């Protein structure tokens, strides 16, 4: 269940990062509310995930999925450039996320 929380948290991160540009420097109330809602939800879900997943792994996976998803949103919706190197490093980021998931422990050790 913790990994599901983490994936949902990362999806919320993609949503808040993707909506940031639409807030128009927080002058657009609708998009600002959407941004804040997804931001808070992302942190809450991340917090639930780190109760069972090591914090280093959870945070790296959360930011990695968020970064990869935000790059894809930028390309698809904001017409940001696509180049070989950009896609190469996006793929290495995704492979790193998969590696962290594959090689991480399933439960956090208490401090």
- Per-residue confidence band for 100, with pLDDT thresholds at 50, 70 and 90: confident
**Nearest Cα to 50, choosing from 68, 35, 62?**
62
**Nearest Cα to 63, choosing from 17, 2, 110?**
17
Tens-digit pLDDT profile for residues 55-80: 999 999 999 999 999 999 999 999 99
Tens-digit pLDDT profile for residues 82-99: 999 999 999 999 999 888
**Nearest Cα to 10, choosing from 83, 86, 61, 55?**
61
Q: Which two tokens stand for residue 86?
A: 């950009």
Task: Please report, for residues 19, 21, 31, 33, the alpha-carbon distance to residue 25 in angstroms, rounded to integers and kept in the order given.
Answer: 11, 7, 10, 12
Polymer length of the chain = 111
């Amino acid at each position: 269940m913790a990994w599901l929380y983490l994936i949902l948290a990362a999806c919320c991160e993609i949503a808040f990062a993707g909506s940031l540009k639409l807030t128009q420097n927080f002058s657009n109330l609708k998009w600002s509310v959407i941004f804040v809602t997804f931001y808070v939800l992302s942190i809450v879900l991340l917090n639930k995930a780190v109760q069972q997943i090591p914090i280093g792994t959870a945070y790296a996976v959360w930011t990695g999925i968020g970064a990869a998803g935000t790059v894809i949103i930028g390309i698809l919706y904001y017409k940001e450039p696509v180049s070989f190197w950009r896609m190469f490093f996006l793929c290495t980021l995704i492979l790193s996320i998969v590696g962290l998931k594959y090689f991480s422990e399933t439960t956090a050790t208490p401090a």
